[in-house]
Structure 1
């Protein structure tokens, strides 16, 4: 059964080029075809004249739903067409009431207002018009229908279509924002899986350069048709990363869910694994989300192991583990295997927790660089700033399209 879309119905009814159906004229035409007089037809439908005529003339303030259904069936027109014609002739007062109601419904169904307010994205929790203005401005849209068209373009496979929890709303908002940025950037470079496979071994050494390494790698990926953006983690969304295919080109979102330098690199390699080996499954789902508490049919164990072992494999960890508290040796070993020392400490912490049940996450804090330095050149998407996705996408495109030459990383 076709969904009743109030937003599109109202936008259609109030558009300048929309011509509502002349219900009275159509009623008279149909009655003539059936061989009935208007009075005979009204009696057969069981509708009093004082109820029928206002509906057909478009002057009914609160038309009876049963009568509207009867008339639509008699006229053999789609119920949505019938409603659009009725709405188009409503009084300004009723139109205003419908408009306010659909705005409130739109906000309630799609956004976790309390949490977006806490994030600093919204400045009010109660003024619907201000909330919608902020959302439309952020996405660069003119109408609610524009946003709902975006929703249609983003697969909802990961989410229940019958019920969304508060977490889903935040996650969905984050996904919609990322998808629209990828659409707007519209990476012009061709993507070839073989070229990405050739690039993969060259990524690792750049993790040694905290301030520039991630940017250089993301720029190289962009030139290979893979677009990477960075979002500040949106509260409760629990996204560490995500993979999309937009216009058949891979797109990756990274976040600061754990706020640790090695984790951001791990997330990148994790998503690149999905790009290389799970393309068909990701395309079927619309996108793939990686992080805490994600429901997915795509294997996560293999990409997790790949990303972790890519930087420090099991043999390397076993070699350095007995010497983990000897800073000088760890640093020299990190240089030898071409990673930042924090990757060795992070691998050790994860191993001790998962294999031996010992928590070392409070140790080696001084060995972990500030992850914000690593993502600064990627123009992180902050939910607190009062700017728009078109502006964000324009800036990122300028950054990625800028021709710069870098020396080979050894």
Structure 2
């Protein structure tokens, strides 16, 4: 740029710091007291072509027209060209994702699984993929993504899970939610134990029970979120160490209302009895994939705790002969402060070969998604995790 234009550019930048080309042009015509049509005649340009340049909707342009516009506005040609290019960029974005990012995404994510889960819309538009994944994981750039540590609680030696890429992003997505909630309460084990005598009763309220329990747990330093299970994973739940506090994620991959509660109390058993190991190893995933005896033993203990707390085997023995009497089951459930679906589910688990018991369990189970705002669906629109979590924080994490 010629030196003689530097002062002009500086002056114009100070006077009109956010001018578009159209704003500059309209200000000039107003100062001259002429219409846009008259200006076109002066420039020798058709109105449609001029509008295309001023709005940035005309991709191809005769460079001499930009020179005429600059002379008309009495500003440097470079300024007019830059303003025109800015307008074009707004209407026709040309940003592209780097080859490094494309390779990184291919190496770290199973795109077919994420599309099936509706986290992304396609597997070829890598700008779209980066935008969706960074939003879901609370990142600024996809290159910030790091797989979680492979050391997990209760494992003896290394454990290489199947579907490792999908498991990793599921873990990181849960951790993004925990970080956003940022529970301010200290973990109080004694306060958690005192809560237990009244938690089971909340199962009787399908619409509000689980959110209210999540709020109660939040105030004793235990954060709980629901998260969509991803295809190829059969994860019931997990317990994490987030800033020295227990954080639980549960899923509705089976779709049964009782399963959500069972998963919650399973994870709470890990919090109560296994927290020291989980805190040291950062997290524990509750699924059936890890067949190490050390892991299976802890899983069995947590299952027993959840089963006995919700509806014990002794109670199953008392009720199972009357399982086809809906009225009797409903009253028995009320007497024991649980939702009837939990009675049916526990009886079905105690009689795994009984088709009728499982049919009754399915018939009398509300949909899991009925009981609380479904976290997974909330993220399908591609909004950032902090935006999605804000109303949930107001509703439950207070």
Shared fold by TM > 0.5? yes
Retained in 1: the 8 A contact 2:137–2:172?
Answer: no
The residue aligned with 1:258 is 254
User: Structure 2 unaligned runs (5+)?
Assistant: 1-96
User: Deviations along 1:330-376, whole A, 9 cap, x unmatched?
Assistant: 111111111111111101110111xxx33332235332122212122
Q: 1:155 aligns with which of 149, 152, 159?
A: 149
* CA 141–340 in structure 1, closer or farther in 2 if over 3 Å, else same: same
CA distance in 2, matches of 1:401, 1:104: 37
Q: 1:388 aligns with which of 384, 389, 395?
A: 384
CA distance in 1, matches of 2:362, 2:128: 43
The residue aligned with 2:371 is 374
The residue aligned with 2:303 is 304
The residue aligned with 2:175 is 179
The residue aligned with 1:60 is none
After TM superposition, list the pairs within 5 Å mapping 1:104-143 onto structure 2: 104-143=102-141
Matched, 1:358 2:354: yes
Matched, 1:346 2:345: yes
Retained in 1: the 8 A contact 2:181–2:397?
Answer: no
Aligned alpha-carbon RMSD (Å)? 2.3
Retained in 2: the 8 A contact 1:181–1:392?
Answer: no
Q: 2:165 aligns with which of 165, 169, 190?
A: 169
The Cα shift of 1:388 comes to 1.6
Tell me the SS of whatever aligns to 2:246.
strand
After TM superposition, list the pairs within 5 Å mapping 1:254-333 onto structure 2: 254-294=250-290, 297-298=294-295, 299-333=298-332
User: Structure 1 unaligned runs (5+)?
Assistant: 1-98, 403-410
CA distance in 1, matches of 2:306, 2:151: 25
Retained in 1: the 8 A contact 2:211–2:396?
Answer: no
User: Deviations along 1:162-186, whole A, 9 cap, x unmatched?
Assistant: 9775x22111111101011111211
Retained in 1: the 8 A contact 2:345–2:361?
Answer: no
CA distance in 1, matches of 2:224, 2:101: 33
Matched, 1:202 2:198: yes
The residue aligned with 1:15 is none
CA distance in 2, matches of 1:222, 1:168: 30
Q: What's the TM-score once normalised by structure 2's chain length? A: 0.69
CA distance in 2, matches of 1:207, 1:268: 11
Matched, 1:237 2:236: no
